[in-house]
Amino acid sequence: MSVKEATKAAPAPAPTAPEPPRPAQGRRAWDEAPRWQIYLPLGIYLVFTLIPFYWILLFALRPAGSTSLVPWPITFDHFEKVWTERSFGTYFANSVLVGVATLVMTTLVALAGGYALARFDFKIKRAFMLALLCSQFVPGALLLVPLFEIFAELQMINSLGSVILAETVFQLPLSMILISNFIKNVPYSLEEAAWVDGCNRMTAFRIVVLPLLRPGLIAVGSFAFVHSWNHFLFALMFLNNQDKQTIPVGLNTLMSADSVDLGALAAGGIIAAVPVVLVFAFIQKWLITGFSAGAVKG
Amino acid sequence: MAQAAAVAKPPAPPRRRRASATPRRLPYLLITPAALLMLGFIAYPVISVFYYSLQNYNPTKPWRNGYAGFDNFVHAFTEDPVFWDSLVFSAKWVFVEVGLQLLFGLALALIVNQTFVGRGLGRAMVFSPWAVSGVLTSAIWVLLYNSQTGITRYLADIGIGSYGTSWLSDTSTVFPAAIVADLWRGVPFFAILILADLQSVSKDLYEAAEVDGASRIKQFWHITLPHLKDAIILSTLLRAVWEFNNVDLLYTLTGGGPAGETTTLPLYIANTSVDAHNFGYASALTTVAFVILLFCSLVYLRLSKFGGESK
């Protein structure tokens, strides 16, 4: 069926039978475009999306010096090399630590703050909300110098704690806004009912609200993880020792070396990509519903 | 909200006691961790950037340090061509990048919002670059653009471009090359946000429109687009701010080169502070960037009448 048919079919029944507003037989649903209008552009876009992924896989798996477009024979030498010689094993462990710690801290702090914003009216609420919005305009990269001085003062230079703190702080505003919107979507009466049944606020929150927040929390938490996993400048600036570095800094080192080892770079890139792609594939569904509940209806 | 609830409900004594026992202090207690973190690590640094912008401050040249008044600003606006170039490039970068991302993101969201076979997998695949950001995007595109073994070589085989040229080191190709690399991961972001909002359009509207004989293009124009308006305005603003501020991609992809061709203002600031240790001047540039960003955002929100009469 084509567009023309689909649209022409619609007005036909209207003049003859005005009262049944929607004749159900054989009509195309509103969200069903002609097949080629879906598959053609999607296919083109998919090629654009996947070629870079293929390219990095190609470089990582084929032997050095090969120009074949198919990674054959497959070799894992590049992975072995970056993992041990280029200390990606250490970087990986550091990145996991930073990512998970940022995830936990962001979620907990934002959950507390988000609950306050969603359920209470208090004096500085408007000012606080304004501060959250304004902080979105503060460029993290531009605050490197003062942040460096603060962490130097706190004796936290060269400790992963500095990066975890900085990442958490820059994730907080958006996470808090999202979580407070998720909580607003949970009817207050549910909580009140739990109080009547004898729960205190904390218990009521834990057994009534928290389970309903799960998709939203997954969205916010994974966002925090992915961001801190990928972010580069804080780690570059606050961590000097090689054994404290994270994966993006390791990748940058591979790129800025005098003669770039493309195989190693590709293997390092794949090591960097795998966790986020996995997290992302897993939470993709919640992410979309999470955003539609939290971000847009605010 | 707590007050409203208390007034609206006939207060059963035990519940009222319980509910009002803590709330007065509770919200403040709950926002304390977030507020402290933000005061310490955002507000205080912002203020110190303003302070340093009026200082000569360079740890490697301590004998020159001290109050400088507006010298840093005067220098930037009157004597520093790199500042103006980076400002112009920033504007160009954000405008082109965000515009294209919005266009492609909207199209992509409309496509994957349809029902079709393999939709879940299709969505996961086209959205996946969103997770891959900054440095990794650079790493991937460095491989693709490599002059010896990159895709350029194979394109030259079929007559596009020439052998042995790296698109990242040629001033005439570096801009589109960097734009394409950033589009690769930027479009999915837009598509996800827009798709999220698309899901909440009531299907009744389309059915009614179809009964009235509205074409699909008209339905898009009169139902979909107005519904998406706020989401588009907000995601465009967020993305523009983010694209302006983000240093990761260009820092690692081009390093601002060749010949300063791809130096954004934030990249220039990062170079000034990290490499040249000229913290006072970098702070002044930061202040300028912050004011520009704030001003543009306010103008944008005013012009787009965000959250106006539409809801």
Q: Which residue in B116, B144, B245 is closest to A141 by CB distance?
A: B245
Determine the structural domain holding residue A66 and report its residue range: 29-75
Q: Which residues of A touch B33 (CB under 8 A)?
A: 109, 112-113
Please tell me whether residues A44 and A181 are part of one structural domain: no
Is B48 in Cβ contact with A149 (below 8 Å)?
yes
Decide if A109 is inside a domain. Answer: yes
CA distance B72 to B160: 47
CA distance B130 to B242: 14
What does the pLDDT read at residue A290? 64
Residue A57 CB partners (closer than 8 Å, separation 6+) = A71, A266, A270
Please tell me whether residues A47 and A141 are part of one structural domain: no
Q: Which residue in A138, A170, A280 is closest to B128 by CB distance?
A: A280
Please tell me whether residues A48 and A138 are part of one structural domain: no
Is B116 in Cβ contact with A276 (below 8 Å)?
no
Here the tokens at position A49 are 């999306």
Is B197 in Cβ contact with A296 (below 8 Å)?
yes
Residue bearing tokens 């050095």: A64
What does the pLDDT read at residue A2? 41
What secondary structure letter does DSSP report for B55? Answer: E
Kindly report the nearest CA distance between residue B270 and chain A, in angstroms: 7
Q: Which residue in A46, A116, A146 is closest to B27 by CB distance?
A: A116
Q: pTM here?
A: 0.80
A-chain residue closest to B153, CA distance: A67
What does the pLDDT read at residue A271? 92
Q: Which residue in A21, A33, A251 is closest to B211 by CB distance?
A: A21
Question: Burial level of A178, CB count in 10 A (0-12/13-18/19+)?
Answer: buried
Q: Which residues of B touch A288 (CB under 8 A)?
A: 192, 195-196, 199
Is B45 in Cβ contact with A150 (below 8 Å)?
yes
Kindly report the nearest CA distance between residue B169 and chain A, in angstroms: 14
Please tell me whether residues A33 and A114 are part of one structural domain: no
Please tell me whether residues A107 and A204 are part of one structural domain: yes
Contact yes or no for A249/A232 (Cβ under 8 A): yes
What does the pLDDT read at residue B93? 94
Decide if A20 is inside a domain. Answer: no
Kindly report the nearest CA distance between residue A43 and chain B, in angstroms: 9
Query: Could you report the average pLDDT of every consecutive run of 10 residues in chain B (311 residues)?
Result: 45 46 78 92 90 85 79 88 92 94 93 85 84 84 83 77 75 89 90 84 81 83 86 86 87 84 88 82 89 87 66 37
Decide if A23 is inside a domain. Answer: no
Is A195 in Cβ contact with B140 (below 8 Å)?
no
Q: How many domains does chain A have?
A: 2
Contact yes or no for A195/B14 (Cβ under 8 A): no
Closest CA relative to residue A285, chosen from A226, A225, A229, A222: A222
Give bridge partners of residue B56 from the DSSP assignment.
Answer: B66
Decide if A40 is inside a domain. Answer: yes
Please tell me whether residues A109 and A242 are part of one structural domain: yes
Phi, psi (rounded to 5 degrees) for B66: 150, 180
Please tell me whether residues A188 and A227 are part of one structural domain: yes
Decide if A6 is inside a domain. Answer: no
Is A116 in Cβ contact with B26 (below 8 Å)?
yes
Please tell me whether residues A33 and A170 are part of one structural domain: no
Decide if A202 is inside a domain. Answer: yes
Please tell me whether residues A38 and A108 are part of one structural domain: no
Please tell me whether residues A64 and A133 are part of one structural domain: no
Domains delineated in chain B: 47-79 (no CATH), 84-279 (1.10.3720.10)
Decide if A246 is inside a domain. Answer: yes
Q: Which residues of A touch B244 (CB under 8 A)?
A: 139
Please tell me whether residues A222 and A91 are part of one structural domain: yes
Q: What is the DSSP string of chain A?
A: --HHHHHHHTTTHHHH--SSS---TTPPPTT---HHHHHHHHHHHHHHHHHHHHHHHHHHHSPTT---SS--S---HHHHIIIIIT-HHHHHHHHHHHHHHHHHHHHHHHHHHHHHHHH---TTHHHHHHHHHHHTTS-GGGGHHHHHHHHHHTT-TTSHHHHHHHHHHHHHHHHHHHHHHHHHTS-HHHHHHHHHTT--HHHHIIIIIHHHHHHHHHHHHHHHHHHHHH--HHHHHH--SGGG--HHHHHHHHHHSSS--HHHHHHHHHHHHHHHHHHHHHHHHHHHHHHHHHTTT-
Mutation choice for B interface testing from A22, A138, A148 by most B CBs within 10 A: A138
Contact yes or no for A119/A125 (Cβ under 8 A): no
3-class secondary structure, B278: coil
Q: How many residues does chain B have?
A: 311
CA distance B306 to B303: 8
Here the tokens at position A42 are 């999607």
Q: Which CATH number does the domain housing residue A263 bear?
A: 1.10.3720.10
A-chain residue closest to B243, CA distance: A139
Decide if A259 is inside a domain. Answer: yes
Kindly report the nearest CA distance between residue A103 and chain B, in angstroms: 14
What does the pLDDT read at residue A268? 92
Q: Which residue in A32, A56, A137 is closest to B293 by CB distance?
A: A137
Q: Which residues in chain A come in under a pLDDT of 70?
A: 1-33, 141, 258, 287-298
Kindly report the nearest CA distance between residue A49 and chain B, in angstroms: 6
Kindly report the nearest CA distance between residue B114 and chain A, in angstroms: 5
Contact yes or no for A255/A217 (Cβ under 8 A): no
Please tell me whether residues A284 and A241 are part of one structural domain: yes
